């Protein structure tokens, strides 16, 4: 371990490229921008070449970090553990190694018991070429995540990447202590194409982008209380959200879970009869729900805070 | 998948003291380049795993041009390629060299 730490300390990182958009940034750029300058130390970096054992069987190209960047760094001087998915490599999908790196990080967080974890989601779900290993990874991650939370560790998810947060990624996000999402971030389990394929175009038209965004997008998730903070699409805004949520998260107890159950039951009572997100927003008290998708960041935050205070008691 | 390897003589050692850098991602039409300062000063090695088979001549031309223009002595470049075009490859090689030399990209 000491040798590994030394090797990692010598690793030089890709310089931070001048994009301020979280959506446009790579996993490594997000990590660099989120943490204090030059504080990031990667575990199992690309030089370790810890790659998927499955992709070569399908004659598919590998990536040196298997699309998952894990390590630790500092925010305002305080240590945090960080995991970031690269959404452009195989849609950020979970494979065996990709998942194991996050499992290991969460188990370390559980054992340390005092350092919060940030998960930068950008994923379409499980990698189909290694589906069994990927599904097992999802289960292991969720168990490790809950163990870390029970040990008192805040686990905060940040969602705003091009692949959104789907499939098993949506389940892991739902297990987090708190979430921040941008308008571009989408959170769900089955994606638009999956729903259309299984239930028909009358159920869900995946080509109707406005429908996709108002059903799964960040604004809707914020309005129904699925996330705690609505972030602007900037690295600075996600940094502010992470800083805020790390401080905010209460310890996980049975009371927390019962409060979450009650909150979800209330959500069904309030919105169960709604056929569309527009109906949900109307039921919440929005007078012009049709205007919400076009609202600016500032205008939407003001509206969301008026319609519904962020719920911190549950999850 | 095809594996290619090229060894070239470089005029001089790459600038800077960074031991390592990585640029790019593996995606359709894109590639990642991991650069490590682990060779003698006058050598440059490029290891390639590419999804597009049968383009060895083009790779050789792009890399020879890169080594001649930028003189990346002492560097080993390891590439995972998702079928990038030669101009994208040339750009990533230049970015990788800038990153390990300490320039901002």
Q: Where are the domains of chain A?
A: 2-187+227-252
Q: What is the ipTM of this complex?
A: 0.94
CB-CB under 8 Å, A64 with B78: yes
Q: Mean pLDDT across the stretch A168-191?
A: 96
End-to-end CA distance of chain B: 29
Query: A26 exposed, middle or buried (CB, 10 Å; 0-12, 13-18, 19+)?
Result: buried
Q: Mean pLDDT across the stretch A121-127?
A: 97
Q: Domain A2-187+227-252, what fold?
A: 2-enoyl-CoA Hydratase; Chain A, domain 1 (3.90.226)
CB-CB under 8 Å, A47 with B36: yes
A11 pLDDT more than 80:
no
Query: For A190, phi and psi rounded to 5 degrees?
Result: -75, 130
* Cβ neighbours of A33 (radius 10 Å): 19
CB-CB under 8 Å, A12 with B21: yes
> Among the listed ranges A52-61, A110-119, A178-187, A244-253, which one has the minimum average pLDDT value?
A244-253
Helix pair angle (A277-284, A254-271), 10° resolution: 100
CATH number at residue B63: 3.30.230
Out of B1, B25, B103, closest to residue A63 by CB = B25
A313 pLDDT more than 70:
no
- In 3D space, the residue among A90, A10, A87, A108 whose CA is nearest the CA of residue A51 turns out to be A90
Band (A7; pLDDT cuts 50, 70, 90):
very low
Taking only the tens place, the pLDDT of each residue in A17-49 is: 557 999 999 999 999 999 999 999 999 999 999
Please report, rounded to a whole number, the percentage of residues in chain A having pLDDT higher than 70.
Answer: 92
Out of A17, A46, A64, closest to residue B105 by CB = A17
A172 pLDDT more than 50:
yes
Q: Mean pLDDT across the stretch A290-312?
A: 89
CB-CB under 8 Å, B25 with A15: no
Q: Mean pLDDT across the stretch A280-304?
A: 95
Q: Which of A12, A42, A49, A71 to mutate to test the interface with B (most CBs of B within 10 A)?
A: A12
Which residues does residue B43 pair with via DSSP β-bridges, in sequence order? Answer: B9
Q: Are A233 and A182 in contact (CB under 8 A)?
A: yes
In the DSSP assignment, the letter for residue A288 is -
pLDDT at A251: 83
**Domain span at B48:** 2-101
Give pTM, 2 decimals.
0.93
Torsion angle (degrees, nearest 10) of CA A123, A126, A127, A129: -170
Contacts of B43 (CB under 8 A, 6+ apart): B7, B8, B9, B10, B73, B74
Number of domains in chain B: 1
Q: Are A145 and A169 in contact (CB under 8 A)?
A: no
């Amino acid at each position: 371990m000491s040798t590994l730490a030394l090797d990692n300390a010598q690793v030089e990182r890709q310089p931070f490229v001048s994009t301020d958009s979280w959506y446009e940034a790579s996993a490594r750029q997000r990590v660099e921008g989120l943490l204090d300058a030059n504080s990031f130390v990667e575990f199992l970096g690309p030089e370790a070449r810890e790659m998927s054992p499955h992709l070569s069987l399908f004659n598919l190209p590998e990536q040196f970090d298997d699309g998952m960047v894990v390590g630790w760094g500092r925010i305002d001087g305080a240590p945090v553990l960080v995991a970031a998915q690269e959404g452009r490599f195989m849609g950020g999908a979970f494979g065996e190694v990709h998942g194991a790196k996050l499992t290991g990080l969460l188990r370390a967080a559980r054992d340390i018991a005092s350092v919060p974890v940030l998960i930068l989601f950008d994923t379409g779900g499980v990698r189909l070429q290694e589906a069994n290993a990927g599904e097992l990874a999802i289960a292991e991650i969720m168990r490790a995540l809950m163990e870390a939370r029970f040990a008192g560790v805040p686990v905060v998810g940040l969602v705003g990447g091009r692949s959104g947060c789907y499939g098993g990624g949506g389940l892991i996000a739902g297990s987090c202590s708190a979430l921040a999402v941008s308008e571009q971030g989408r959170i769900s389990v089955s994606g638009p194409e999956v729903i259309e394929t299984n239930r028909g175009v009358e159920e869900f038209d995946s080509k109707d982008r406005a429908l996709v965004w108002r059903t799964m997008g960040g604004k809707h998730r914020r309005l129904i209380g699925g996330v705690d903070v609505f972030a602007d699409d900037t690295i600075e805004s996600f940094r502010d959200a992470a800083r805020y949520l790390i401080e905010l998260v209460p310890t996980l107890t049975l009371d927390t879970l019962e409060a979450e159950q009650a909150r979800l039951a209330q959500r069904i009572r309030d919105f169960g009869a709604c056929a569309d997100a527009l109906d949900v927003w109307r039921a919440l008290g929005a007078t012009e729900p049709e205007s919400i998708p076009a609202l600016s960041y500032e205008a939407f935050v003001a509206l969301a805070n008026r319609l519904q205070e962020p719920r911190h008691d549950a999850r | 998948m095809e594996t290619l390897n090229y060894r070239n003589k470089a005029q001089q050692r790459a600038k800077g003291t960074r031991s390592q850098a990585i640029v790019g991602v593996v995606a359709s039409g894109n590639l990642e380049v991991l650069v490590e300062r682990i060779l003698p000063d006058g050598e440059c090695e490029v290891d390639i795993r590419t999804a597009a088979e049968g383009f060895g001549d083009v790779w050789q031309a792009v890399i020879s041009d890169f080594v001649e223009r930028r003189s990346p002595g002492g560097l080993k470049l390891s590439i995972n390629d998702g079928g990038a075009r030669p101009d994208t490859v040339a750009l990533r090689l230049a970015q990788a060299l800038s990153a390990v030399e300490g320039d901002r990209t």
